[in-house]
């Protein structure tokens, strides 16, 4: 079974631009979560999607948004990029079965650099 895939793997943008990152979950997984990892703040939860609905959102400004499609693939968008948005963005998928372990499987990440 294929793992979680993320595209692109590396991205360089300039301040003020916007960016869209993509995540394809493991087949059969309906939950997709996004995390931001920076040296200063560590790993922080951005949001989680389940069946095309955002179920939870972390403490990030409205410039960070996402969506999920009917095939469970998810995209994350960051508008008006700032230097502080430079980070590794990780996507994780899970079965999200009630009472289950909620085990999340991560993709390789997209490393975003904002100049």
Partner 1 sequence: AQKITQTQPGMFVQEKEAVTLDCTYDTSDQSYGLFWYKQPSSGEMIFLIYQGSYDEQNATEGRYSLNFQKARKSANLVISASQLGDSAMYFCAMSSFSGSARQLTFGSGTQLTVLP
Catalog residues that contact partner 1 under the rule CB under 8 A.
Answer: 31, 33, 35, 42-43, 45, 48, 50, 55-56, 58, 88, 90, 92, 94, 96, 99, 101-109, 111
Nearest approach in angstroms of CB 37 to partner 1 is: 8
Asked, as a colleague might, if the bond just before 8 is cis with ω within 30 of 0, I would say yes
- Nearer of residues 16 and 52 to partner 1, judged by Cβ: 52
Using CA atoms, how far residue 28 sits from 15, 47, 73, 99, 115, in Å, is: 37, 20, 11, 17, 37
- Nearer of residues 29 and 81 to partner 1, judged by Cβ: 29
């Amino acid at each position: 079974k294929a793992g979680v895939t993320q595209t692109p793997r590396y991205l360089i943008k300039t301040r003020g631009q916007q960016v869209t990152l993509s995540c394809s979950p493991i087949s059969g997984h309906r939950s997709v979560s996004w995390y931001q990892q920076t040296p200063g703040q560590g790993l922080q939860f951005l949001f989680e999607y389940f069946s095309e609905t955002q179920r939870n959102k972390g403490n990030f400004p409205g410039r960070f948004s996402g969506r999920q499609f009917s095939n469970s693939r998810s995209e994350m968008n960051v508008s008006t990029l700032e230097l502080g948005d430079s980070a590794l963005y990780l996507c994780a998928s899970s079965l999200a079965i009630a009472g289950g372990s909620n085990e999340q499987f991560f993709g390789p990440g997209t490393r975003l650099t904002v100049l």
